[in-house]
A = this chain, B = another copy of it.
Amino acid sequence: MSTTPGTLPEALAQRLADSGLRSTPQREIVYSVLLAKRDHPTADEVFARVKTDLPTISLATVYNCLETLVQCNLVRSVNFERGPTRYCPNLRPHAHFHDEQSGSTHDIDLPPELLEQVKHVLPAGYDAKSIEITFRGKAQPGAR
């Protein structure tokens, strides 16, 4: 009664309903495609994979479904920030804080020992040349 084949779509339906949204074949298949091969596909790649099951789906729908899944916290988008690349000349080790209200980005200094600790989470065989840490949230207007 709990591991029937219908379970996954139902869990998805529940999550969508929590956000006042509907479960649709398109959303289910997009989600299942992401679960089936966890290689961080692009929207275009998802589009290609979904089409084998649902040849009539449109790219716009794939974008819509992905956006929906991200908003329901079922999926994360890896390039968190859409839009143009930004540049900074601060070369000291620092993270970025992206203030969602104002859209501005602040530098956050990072103690070198923290960076070391972060590096230590890498399993053997991984050699990181750079680490990028980005926070998103609210910054009090007072904070710079």
* Chain A residues in the interface with B (C-beta under 8 A): 31, 34-35, 38-44, 46, 66, 69-70, 73-91, 95-97, 100, 104-111, 114, 117-118, 121-140, 142-143
Q: Is the interface of A mostly helix, strand, loop or mixed?
A: mixed
A39 contact from B34, B105, B114, B131, Cβ within 8 A: B105
Q: How far is the CA of A14 from the CA of B133 in the complex (A)?
A: 30
Q: How far is the CA of A35 from the CA of B137 in the complex (A)?
A: 26
> By the criterion CB–CB under 8 Å, are A90 and B104 in contact?
no
> By the criterion CB–CB under 8 Å, are B89 and A79 in contact?
no
A17 to chain B, nearest CB (A): 18
Q: Assuming the A-B contacts A121-B111, A135-B128, are A76 and B88 also in contact, with contact meaning beta carbons closer than 8 angstroms in the complex? A: yes
> By the criterion CB–CB under 8 Å, are B123 and A143 in contact?
yes
CB-based nearest B residue for A32: B89
Residues of B within 8 A of A133 (CB): 118, 131-134
Q: How far is the CA of A124 from the CA of B143 in the complex (A)?
A: 8
> By the criterion CB–CB under 8 Å, are B77 and A91 in contact?
no
Q: How far is the CA of A56 from the CA of B25 in the complex (A)?
A: 53
Q: Which 5 residue pairs are nearest across A and B when measured between Cβ atoms?
A: A125-B143, A125-B140, A42-B84, A128-B135, A40-B86
CB-based nearest B residue for A79: B85
A34 to chain B, nearest CB (A): 4
Q: How far is the CA of A66 from the CA of B86 in the complex (A)?
A: 10
Q: Assuming the A-B contacts A44-B84, A105-B40, A122-B97, are A136 and B132 also in contact, with contact meaning beta carbons closer than 8 angstroms in the complex? A: yes
